[in-house]
Amino acid sequence: MVSFVATPIGNLKDITLRALETLKNADVIFCEDTRHTIKLLNAYDVKKPLYACHKFNETEAANKILEASRRGEHVVVVSDAGTPVVSDPGNIVCKILRQANEPYTLLPGASAFVAALVLSALPADRFAFIGFLPDKNSEKKKLLEKYKDVDLTLAFHSAPQDVDKDIRAMFEVFGDRNAAAVREITKIHEEAANFRLADGLPGEKRGEYVLVVEGAAEKESPLNSLSEKEHIQHYMAAGLDKKEALKRAAKDRGVSKSELYPFAIDL
């Protein structure tokens, strides 16, 4: 059996009881960086064999995980912080396990972008997590262009040395928008700074960041430039009955059907 286990993103007390129990009962633990994970294990007196599973050896590690699981061992997979696979190694492991029909599960826990979304105070009812942007500015902008007209709050991971470049690229592609830079989540110096993309983020950049950016404003229908009556007539001329034409026009204009009804009485 293979268990992917979410670990704290800062404060070690954010480990779940179930995660601790699973780590203590594991036969072997695969982690992104053994030097990092050993600190967590030492804090809770967990002593288990540790092996590396990172982006440079993930396929090799995945096959070892599969073999160990087939031998009946309980294998635990963790990343340095947060939920494995989400902007961390683990996706190749999942793919190989699924292809081999080997069962695995996830013990949920901390996730930086979810915490940042809450701390940003930006709309959280619908959002998209994009992760890290490419290093090259041209590739950065190319990726951002895909989300330029998406009316969802967007969340990005950003290393401190990339924050200013990432924000500049977002402004050049998205235009000016509300945003928030959230860092040191769950730690002593946790901070959520709201700003405008046009202004950039002032101050020295320290710690890992999650940049949260408001989505694109809903584009107004060009039909809204017509009079109310002409708007309804446009849809009727396209073959819709008056009831459906009224409904479509009301949706375009962001008003109720009853507000437009007087304009349709004599149509």
- Digit-by-digit pLDDT tens for the chain (267 residues) are 999 999 999 999 999 999 999 999 999 999 999 999 999 999 999 999 999 999 999 999 999 999 999 999 999 999 999 999 999 999 999 999 999 999 999 999 999 999 999 999 999 999 999 999 999 999 999 999 999 999 999 999 999 999 999 999 999 999 999 999 999 999 999 999 999 999 999 999 999 999 999 999 876 667 777 888 788 887 877 888 888 887 888 888 878 888 877 887 888
Q: What is the pLDDT of residue 181?
A: 98
Instruction: Pinpoint the residues of the chain covered by CATH 3.30.950.10.
Output: 112-213
| Residue type, position 215, single letter | G
Q: What is the pLDDT of residue 220?
A: 65
- Please write the tens of the pLDDT for every residue from 121-148: 999 999 999 999 999 999 999 999 999 9
Q: Are strands 50-52 and 178-183 parallel, antiparallel or unpaired?
A: unpaired
Instruction: Pinpoint the residues of the chain covered by CATH 3.40.1010.10.
Output: 2-107
Q: Are 19 and 43 in contact (CB under 8 A)?
A: no
Tokens of 116: 């940042």
CA atoms of 171 and 200, how far apart (whole Å): 9
CA atoms of 262 and 125, how far apart (whole Å): 35
Third-level CATH fold of 2-107: Cobalt-precorrin-4 Transmethylase; domain 1 (3.40.1010)
Q: What is the pLDDT of residue 128?
A: 97
Q: What is the pLDDT of residue 1?
A: 96
Thinking of the domain 112-213, which architecture would CATH place it in? 2-Layer Sandwich (3.30)
pTM flag (> 0.85): no
Residue partners of 104: CB distance under 8 A and separation at least 6: 1, 2, 3, 4, 69, 94, 97
